[in-house]
Amino acid sequence: MAKADDTPPGEPLSVRQGYMLAVLVLVAALTLVAIYATGAGARERAMSEARLSAEADQVVARLRQQLLTYELVTRGGVSLLAAIQRPNQRQWRNYTDGLDLSQRFPAMLGLCYAASMSPAELQDFQLEQRAASRQLFRVDPPGARAEYGPVVLLEPQTMASADVVGFDMLTEPVQAVAMEAARSSAAARITAPLPMMQEGAGPGLVIYAPVYRSGIVPANPAARPAALSGWVCAPFSIDPFVASALPAGSGGLSVRIVDIGEDDAEADDLPLFPLDSAAFPDADADGVRHSLVEQVYGRRWRLEFHQARTGGSGGLLGPAGTIALGVLASLLLFALAMILARTQSRAQDIAARMSDSYRRSELRFRSAIRFSAIGKALLDRDGRIIDANLALADVVRTSPEELMGRMFGSLFTGGDNAAEARARAASGSVYRVTRELHRDDGDIRHVHLTYAQVPGEHGQDVASLVQVEDITDRLRAEARVLALNRTLETRVALRTRELTRANEELESFAYTISHDLRAPLRAIDGFSRMVAERHADAFDDVGRGYVARVRAATLRMGELIDALLKMSRVSRSELKREPLDLSAMARDILSELAQGDPGREVEVVIEPGMVASGDSVLVRNLLGNLLGNAWKFTRETPAARIMFQRVGQGGEEWFEVSDNGIGFDQAYAGKLFRPFQRLHAADEFGGEGIGLASVKRIIERHGGTISGEGVVGKGARFRFTLPDEPASG
């Protein structure tokens, strides 16, 4: 009998076996960590020491290269002095300028020449300097000595190094030792560390190269002091000298250089770099160390290097760090194995729930199809019905069982297979077509079909789901609506013809009335003029006044007839839209008004750049009426002012014509735009009362609006819009 936790071949592991496997993973990982950790510390330290030794060799090579360069610079000075027994300051400056010390050798403070002189030679040199420059060459420190080594040439000279010229280097013990060694060995020698080279330069060193008279070095060392002419010296600062040799980005690397004496003598350790020994890690500091001794121009330097432990690839984890990292990785693997083991049973539960959920989803899908109010059917790849709902059976007037196995396309006639193929290609997985369905009873129905691709179960051949919607009633309703629309269009056309005929008759009536009224008016005016001219003596003043009133009334009647015709032309003329410069048009109109009334002084303010779209003739008529009214009604105002500008509020913009004339009562604003309505007496201000009515008609023909506001004695303003969209005219 098999145990409960035995696992058949090919089946997943049980939960207990998963736990055992996790424990085995942990044990194996810890074993590997222990094996690796035993030698990891030694290997890492050996690698770090090798890297530090290589970096130390590179630093020493750079230091030697820089010292060799400094020696070559001093040797060049020696060659110059051999060719010229004693070069002057200008020749020495030309030589040093050609070297470009400040750019090529930043650590070097300059290049100098210290002459070797006896007291008599020093006295002769001072006399020569006084004769040449009328200045006494002073030696510092003063006093009588058997031998002098003053600096006679120095370049470049700065504020900090100006007092170096004349300094007797043989009086400085550290420098004197190096100078004596260079003279005896006929080779370049370097000093021990000097605490202060010059003001602001910090600690430094000086390398000396001996100069012999005529450039010939005596073979006998005992004869060299007498043949010595002087020394070429190159002082340089220690800090930039060493810093330039250190590798860039050397994180955690510390360097200490100690001068341990001459080649053939023992001396105390003199810190060379850095001067503060506390800046270098002590012996207990964590990391690796490397030390070496170098022979440097008669001195011995001990170079000590220390590389601190870092977190990078070059750092030292040590055995403890390696073990900790390995244990952490082992625990992570163990936790992962445990999670996999514990999730196995959950995966099985989830699979069971998903199977149950799938069955429920299948049941919901079947129920949704069967009880849907819209006809639906499942088709196989050949187009046969493998399932249909009651709504589809009701559309076809049959039962769902009779639909099973039938070709779905056989239910329809008059289909356009090419159009259906184009719709399928354009829409992809979902496409729609309209077909005619012929029932068995002979009734023809229009249906809207929506095809959608759906996947089937393994072993099933479900290819698509089709939705059948009976749209016969909707199409019939649309046909009725179209018929009503055609009837409505016919009625609209009839009403349009009637309105056109009425407008034509109105226009004919206006011309007829104008013609018929003008004849009696001319007769009345002519006879009244004849009476006034021929029989004026037969009337008294009252009678002559009556005749004058008759003539004035006939003239007024003629003006009203002309205004009526003018307003009818505004409504009849064809609207031609074009871009208009309203600012220029307003300036032209006001210029004409000023020419017609030259005695007026009116302040005119027109905003530049105002443009609109409209009929140029009608818009000029519009502005002429508004600006003409402003000109007319400011006649009695002492400081008349007329403005034409664009104003806006709440995202809307208007054109505004305003003045400071007599204004009007706002209570009568409703009469402004009615024909023949006047708010002022005719004897005060002339006009027919039709200008603003024409303005309103022009604005409305352009699809805009106009409004007027006024205050008695303070002026009026009119705001209007001219939309860019074409308006029916």
pLDDT of residue 331: 83
Highest mean pLDDT among 112-121, 473-482, 691-700: 112-121
Q: Are residues 512 and 434 in the same domain?
A: no
pLDDT of residue 315: 45
**Do the Cβ atoms of 612 and 582 come closer than 8 Å?**
yes
Q: Which has more confidence, 264 or 605?
A: 605
The H-or-E segment that residue 336 falls in is helix 318-370
pLDDT digits (tens, 9 = 90+) for 487-503: 898 888 888 787 777 76
Domain count for the chain: 6
Q: Are residues 350 and 377 in the same domain?
A: no
Domain membership of residue 99 (yes or no) is no
Residue with tokens 């051949």: 461
Q: Are residues 204 and 340 in the same domain?
A: no
pLDDT mean over 363-386: 80
Q: Are residues 465 and 389 in the same domain?
A: yes
91/97 Cα distance (integer angstroms): 10
Averaged pLDDT of the chain = 80
The terminus-to-terminus CA distance of the chain in angstroms comes to 103
pLDDT of residue 728: 45
Domain membership of residue 569 (yes or no) is no
Q: What is the DSSP letter of 442?
A: S
Question: What percent of the chain lies above the pLDDT cut of 70?
Answer: 80
Domain membership of residue 232 (yes or no) is yes
Tell me if the pTM is above 0.75.
no
pLDDT of residue 582: 93
Residue 390, Cα to own-chain centre: how many angstroms? 61
**Do the Cβ atoms of 340 and 21 come closer than 8 Å?**
no
Domain boundary among 443, 470, 497: 470
Nearest to 702 by CA among 570, 610, 607, 606: 570
pLDDT of residue 64: 92
The 3-class secondary structure across 630-688, one letter per residue, is HHHHCCCCCCCEEEEEEEEECCEEEEEEEECCCCCCHHHHHHCCCCCCCCCCCCCCCCC
pLDDT mean over 596-622: 88
pLDDT mean over 385-406: 82
Domain membership of residue 625 (yes or no) is yes
Domain membership of residue 488 (yes or no) is yes
265/356 Cα distance (integer angstroms): 98
pLDDT of residue 573: 62
pLDDT digits (tens, 9 = 90+) for 76-94: 888 888 777 777 888 888 8
Confidence of residue 112 (pLDDT cuts 50, 70, 90): very high
129-138, 141-150, 444-453, 720-729: least confidently modelled range: 720-729
Above 80 in pLDDT, residue 457?
no
pLDDT mean over 549-555: 75
Give residue 160's domain range.
108-240
Q: Are residues 49 and 167 in the same domain?
A: no
pLDDT of residue 266: 57
Q: Which has more confidence, 349 or 722?
A: 722
The residue count for the chain:
729
pLDDT of residue 552: 73
Q: Are residues 593 and 714 in the same domain?
A: yes
Above 90 in pLDDT, residue 148?
yes
pLDDT of residue 325: 75
Above 50 in pLDDT, residue 729?
no
Domain membership of residue 563 (yes or no) is no
Q: What is the CATH number of the domain that holds 417?
A: 3.30.450.20
Domain membership of residue 643 (yes or no) is yes
Q: Are residues 389 and 358 in the same domain?
A: no
Domain boundary among 199, 224, 240: 240
Q: Are residues 49 and 120 in the same domain?
A: no
Residue 356, Cα to own-chain centre: how many angstroms? 54
pLDDT of residue 419: 64
pLDDT of residue 103: 87
pLDDT digits (tens, 9 = 90+) for 98-107: 888 888 888 8
Question: What percent of the chain lies above the pLDDT cut of 90?
Answer: 14
pLDDT of residue 696: 86
pLDDT of residue 312: 47
Q: Are residues 579 and 715 in the same domain?
A: yes
Domain membership of residue 660 (yes or no) is yes
Q: Which has more confidence, 444 or 650?
A: 444
400-414, 621-635, 683-697: least confidently modelled range: 683-697
